[in-house]
Chain A
Amino acid sequence: MPRKTIVPENTVDELSILDEEGRADAELDPKMDRDSLLKVYQAMVKARTLDDRMITMQRQGQMGTFAPGRGQEAAQIGSVYSLRPTDWFAPSYRSFGAQMWRGWAIDQLMMLWDGYFEGFDLPEGINDLPFSIVIGCHVPLATGVAMAQTCQGTDSVVLTNFGDGASSEGDVSESLNFAAVHNAPIVFICENNGYAISLPFEKQTKIKSIAHRAPAFGMPGMRVDGNDILAMVSATKEAIDRARSGGGPTLIEAVTFRMEMHTTADDPTVYRADNEVARWTARDPISRFEKYLLASGVLDASIKTRIASDVDEEIRLGREKFKQRAKPNAQEVFDYMYAADMPPELKAQKNEYLRKLAARLAGKKLTPV
């Protein structure tokens, strides 16, 4: 036949388990145990509370510009839920919930976003990459880490998240292609939160779902309700297990919504209507999960209150620690440039800088050597 329709080898499933009223599809419910459910719930509440607290701090001049993740808690915590500590996580910068789940301390995140380099002292015991601020540019790194696992014969997997905006970057397409060709053990999570700063998803791409790109690159794809923690846990577990058992990469689109501003420097009222935000409020990942937990008896009013106050206390302590640590260290700006001995010209520049620094800190002008 001269002309016929050809279909890609891989298909794209859509997955949703919890409805807006918190009712779970009994067959698809991953049936997590009580402790795990409460741990996940607490992590989601913590991520949101930290966002709120840091926005207040930012407005009071006690915090730098940062990117809140309100509304994306299920997408993020669900993504990393099934990772082992020895697996690798390459986060985008809007990843508080996932990073804290992996072991990033609150004071660490505060240090980072308030302009202290020490914020990138990565937690010990886990393999996480520091994020890069340039959109999508961490995704090839994550892919390379995954390719290295194959070379080294480990059973570790890599998970990386990025946004709908990043999906337009060549880095993301190149990564999907490299990962597929090399059958790399990696899970790509596109958190489609509806907006790249001001640009809505329908102007980012003509396709209806980023997951549709998966079969085009030769890997399975899944479009998941990103505000549904059970669906996110199920989908990513399936993808992580596949990667670990040699089945190669997966692209998951987590359909979610950025309920806050892009960063604290942004005013979303300029480009989106209140009723759009209201529509998504009804699909809030935390309240849906809460309804599910209340209906199943895992959560009740007193546990909810206790979790809220535990989270408050944890963040209060984190903030205290941050305040104690938050002293600018201007001495070390040269020190991590090279792993080898510092080249002589850099050593000379460092000495010149330290002299200037000492003089400025003493409120003096430099005296000639």
Chain B
Amino acid sequence: MPKMNMARALNLALKQNLASDPTVVVMGEDVGVDGGVFRITKGLLEEFGPKRVMDSPLAEAGIIGTAVGMAAAGLKPVAEIQFSGFTYQAFHQIEQNMARLHNRSRGRYKVQMVMRAPYGGGIRAVEHHSESREAYWAHTPGLKVVIPSGPRLARSLLHAAIHDPDPVIFYEPKAIYRAFKEEVPEEPEAFEIGKARVVRVGSDITLIAYGAMIRPTLEAADDLEETHGIRAEVIDLISIWPMDTETLAASVSKTGRAVVVHEGPRSCGIGAEVVARINESAFAHLEAPVARVTGYDIHFPFFQVERFYLPDSEAVVESALEAVNY
């Protein structure tokens, strides 16, 4: 199996779907000639031509609104918003049309489309290039929201998102686009949307994270075991909505303790939903309050100090120890 980074794996998913399905189109700012600012769409214009790979005018609402129209007309658009911080320019089209057209038309028009956007901190970027607001979309009925944490998963998850008959928000942790390589099979594979994955088995505490936070969380799990003899189970949430309550419940029922980790602001964030679901499904097994290690309820700081804002493995370890010693 070839080894590749997440940027290449995403490119592979797009390329294979463009090749296998003539109704798949790619659109967005600079996705054509430029290949996207993160080069995720590199080479696609040359291979599939300007009717399938469309450089859009610089207008996010226009991109999402026209993509929904294309979906209504039977295409499967994969629309790129250059940074998740620019999705606010398209907020109304996402809420009013992307999330609603299937329901509004009582099933007549499917909105089989994907909105891809890089999200999250850690790349020393200017304002509006680092935030994590997946909670907006998880809070919007009618959408699905997924986030990969590595190359092989990114490819299979994007493949699944393109094949899903409903609109999918696909957030890409930009900090790890090129951070590491994994073996990715040539043959397409699909990761089922709605499922989480246990990425490390443990018995003493459950650590729940997704996206770029998986790596510090796994480091924390190593440290907990090596330094403190605590065996942590780590769950990669992957599907933000729908959320795999079953996997969360099974793990917490076993461990009795949990810490949830994400970059986005704490209040009303994804962590709050995870806590609520654990409360509803595994309350009787809990030995300690479920802790949240998250970003703060502030705007993402300028990059000279972003490392202090972002959750790190030490913060996860500290929270886990508190839960274990509760």
Using CB atoms and an 8 Å cutoff, list the residues of chain A in contact with chain B.
88, 117-118, 120-122, 129-130, 132, 134, 137-152, 170-171, 174-175, 177-178, 181-182, 336-340, 343-346
Instruction: Chain A residues near B77: list those with CB within 8 A.
Output: 144
Task: Report if B224 contacts A (CB, 8 A).
Answer: no
Task: Report if B278 contacts A (CB, 8 A).
Answer: no
**A61 to B59 CA separation, bound complex (whole angstroms):** 43
Given A144-B68, A345-B242, decide whether A132 and B102 contact each other with a Cβ distance below 8 A.
no
**A182 to B64 CA separation, bound complex (whole angstroms):** 15
Task: Report if B62 contacts A (CB, 8 A).
Answer: yes
A174 (CB) vs chain B CBs: closest residue: B62
Asked if A122 and B69 sit within 8 Å, CB to CB, the answer is: no
Number of A-B contacts (CB under 8 A): 146
Instruction: Chain B residues near A178: list those with CB within 8 A.
Output: 56-57, 59, 62, 66
Q: Nearest chain A CB to B273's CB is how many angstroms away?
A: 10
Instruction: Chain B residues near A121: list those with CB within 8 A.
Output: 106
A142 (CB) vs chain B CBs: closest residue: B69
Task: Report if B228 contacts A (CB, 8 A).
Answer: no
Asked if A152 and B96 sit within 8 Å, CB to CB, the answer is: no
Asked if B106 and A120 sit within 8 Å, CB to CB, the answer is: yes
Instruction: Chain B residues near A149: list those with CB within 8 A.
Output: 73
Contact of B142 among A118, A132, A338 (CB under 8 A): A338
Given A140-B66, A144-B72, A174-B62, decide whether A120 and B142 contact each other with a Cβ distance below 8 A.
no
Asked if A151 and B25 sit within 8 Å, CB to CB, the answer is: yes
Asked if B104 and A145 sit within 8 Å, CB to CB, the answer is: no
Asked if A141 and B165 sit within 8 Å, CB to CB, the answer is: no
One of B33-41, B80-88, B107-115, B150-158 at the interface: B107-115
Instruction: Chain A residues near B290: list those with CB within 8 A.
Output: none
Residue contacts A-B, CB under 8 angstroms, 25 given: A122-B106, A132-B104, A137-B92, A137-B96, A139-B65, A140-B66, A140-B93, A141-B68, A141-B72, A144-B67, A144-B70, A144-B77, A148-B72, A150-B51, A152-B74, A171-B65, A175-B66, A177-B62, A336-B107, A337-B141, A338-B142, A338-B165, A339-B102, A344-B194, A345-B242
Instruction: Chain A residues near B72: list those with CB within 8 A.
Output: 129, 141, 144-145, 148
Task: Report if B52 contacts A (CB, 8 A).
Answer: yes
A182 (CB) vs chain B CBs: closest residue: B54
Instruction: Chain A residues near B71: list those with CB within 8 A.
Output: 144
Task: Report if B232 contacts A (CB, 8 A).
Answer: no
